[in-house]
Amino acid sequence: EAIEETYTIKIKANGNGIVSPESVIVNKSITAEVTATPQDGYKFVGWKTEGGAEVADKDPVSTINASSTTAIY
């Protein structure tokens, strides 16, 4: 049986809040839940990929797969 390649995904905030966890291990069939928590006075507005593309899911608690993601506040 073939072993699926795994990826370590680093999740970061843009400086106006925190994300948890800051990294996860996923593959094509394993996803991970991440949570963005804004600092006081800021509102979470979405996620974007490392390449800058906005992610359709605007929920601060989101499920991700093999891509790099940043929380936007």
Q: What is the pLDDT of residues 43-57, one digit of tens each?
A: 988 888 777 777 767
Query: What's the one-letter identity of residue 18?
Result: I
Say how many C-beta atoms besides its own lie within 10 A of residue 7's C-beta: 15
For the stretch 54-71, pLDDT in tens is 776 778 887 776 655 556
Q: Which residues pair with 27 in a beta bridge?
A: 30
pTM: 0.71
